[in-house]
Homo-oligomer: A and B are copies of this chain.
Amino acid sequence: MARNAHPEVTRQRILDAAKKLFAQKGYERTTIQDILDELEDLSKGAIYHHFKNKEAMLHALVDSDNERLLPQANQEDGSRNGLQKLRNSLMMQITDTEHMTLMRDAFPLLNDPKILAENLRIWRTDSTKIAYDFIQEGLRDGSITTEYPQEAAELFSLLFNYWLAPNFYPITTLSEFKHRIHCLGLIMDSLGVPLIDHDSDMEDRLAEGFFLLASNPQ
């Protein structure tokens, strides 16, 4: 039997098929057989050679999504101040349809208490640290005036990642998301971090981005 000379190509084909089906049918309803049917020329053994199970595919998709977004986050033109960088880091993720679709499809993973605990830890640490650094930069360049840089960073991370996720706090309509985003803007304002740019359509675009999380796969 001829061995596959391009295992990376096969791996990527499996991931592309899995991503397409997770988005179409939802993660829970997609079976390994569905992925096999989608790929046609691959055997079940070939799939299991690359991924232990469906969950491993979803983890690989989340990792590759993070790798895709990271260079964009670091690509700063140097003219932005701290507040603008904080706003941009948020908008970049929330208005990215591919990212938000994957986040929605990955929600079932958070039903696993271990994965939930690990995500909460990341939201308290790494993800807080990113916001904290932007806020500190804002304090230095004068775009932010707050006595609560640490608290604002923690709440930014906790509320956007956990409180706005409709798998935890079940909200379903676009207007409910708008209400909640506006509420979060008031909170950040009260701490001296004017996160929402009221001269732009930022609030509406954030609400639309989060609304995607509450949509059902087609």
Contacts and interface: CB of A to CB of B under 8 A. Distances in A.
A187 to B, nearest CB: 5
A197 B154 CA distance: 25
Contacts of A103: none
Number of identical monomers bound together in the oligomeric complex: 2
Interface residues of A, number: 23
A102 interface: no
A113 B124 contact: no
Interface string A155-180: 10010000100001100000000011
Contacts of A147: 179
A129 to B, nearest CB: 13
A116 interface: yes
Nearest to A121: B168
Most buried by B among A113, A124, A168: A113
A6 interface: no
A114 B112 CA distance: 8
A69 interface: no
Given A154-B169, A183-B191, A187-B190, 19 more contacts: A113-B113, A113-B116, A116-B116, A116-B117, A116-B120, A117-B117, A124-B168, A124-B169, A148-B179, A148-B183, A151-B180, A151-B183, A154-B163, A155-B163, A155-B187, A158-B163, A186-B190, A186-B191, A187-B187
